[in-house]
Amino acid sequence: MILLFTCPAGAGQEALLLDRLRVDSESLRSAEQDFQRHQGRGNMGAAESRDYATYVDRLRQRVVRDCVALAAVEIAIPADLECPQQPFSSAGPAAIDQQAEQTDAERAAALDAELSTGLGTFDEKLLREQERVKAARQNTGGGGGQGGAGSTAEGGRSGGLAGSGDTNGAGESQQDGALSAPPSTSENAKSSGRQTAVKERPTESVDENDDVVARQLREAAEKEADPELRKKLWEEYRKYKQGTR
């Protein structure tokens, strides 16, 4: 068993811990103000308000954790920074420095889980925002035009870093390990609670003599598992077809 001991804080570590507390405190302050402003205006739905409150609470917990870490290495909290009080009084797990008891692998897994949770929360937030955008468009009744900015529809790819098959250089023979759309999209779907729906075609007939762009759109829509994205793809397909008639 590997025992981890807390080392005395060096100047570098002290600066790092203080820096982290400062960044987290600033994020918390800004998020709290933004949250209160939106609540004051009454422009958040119940779900959005609940999610935002969870987000603020999570930020608060981060600040508490930063304070605990500083206290553990006996660094005084600067006067311009505050530590929230209530979690300090809670008994139980705080009595044991769980972080210090974890192995590196466990700690990395915990951080990974935190990242995944953050990604899921972010997905939900963006989905809600997209719903709001869609609602705004319906309220204004569109205005015609030639289709809109910003779909990922057009046979488009989405993110993914190109990784090589090895680490020995950027030679031509390297296999491109692009982690592109399909796996990540399904990951999005999972983390954001979206369901895989039955594939569907648009209500109007699909022209089998589509040109290259229409075909790309149609095929992308037919293959897409995510219902939101699939709907957008079919919308783009219809708009494109209308534009070419």
**Binder among 100, 179, 200, 223 for other proteins (CB under 8 A):** 179
Q: How many CB atoms lie within 10 A of CB 233?
A: 27
Q: How many CB atoms lie within 10 A of CB 129?
A: 11
Q: What are phi and psi of 232, to 5 degrees?
A: -60, -40
CB 192 within 8 A of CB 120: yes
Instruction: Quote the least distance from Cβ 147 to other proteins, whole Å.
Output: 6
Q: Is 40 in the site for other proteins (CB under 8 A)?
A: no
Separation CA 154–CA 53 (nearest Å)? 37
Stretch that binds other proteins, among 18-26, 76-84, 86-94, 194-202 (CB under 8 A): 18-26
- Identify residues 148-167 at the interface with other proteins (CB under 8 A): 148-152, 154-167
Distances (CA, A) of 123 to 66, 68, 80, 93, 95: 26, 30, 34, 31, 35
Nearer Cβ to other proteins (90/137): 137
Separation CA 113–CA 154 (nearest Å)? 33
- Identify residues 82-141 at the interface with other proteins (CB under 8 A): 104, 107-108, 111-112, 114-115, 118-119, 122-123, 125-126, 129-130, 133-134, 136-137, 140
Stretch that binds other proteins, among 68-76, 77-85, 86-94, 206-214 (CB under 8 A): 206-214
Nearer Cβ to other proteins (12/42): 12
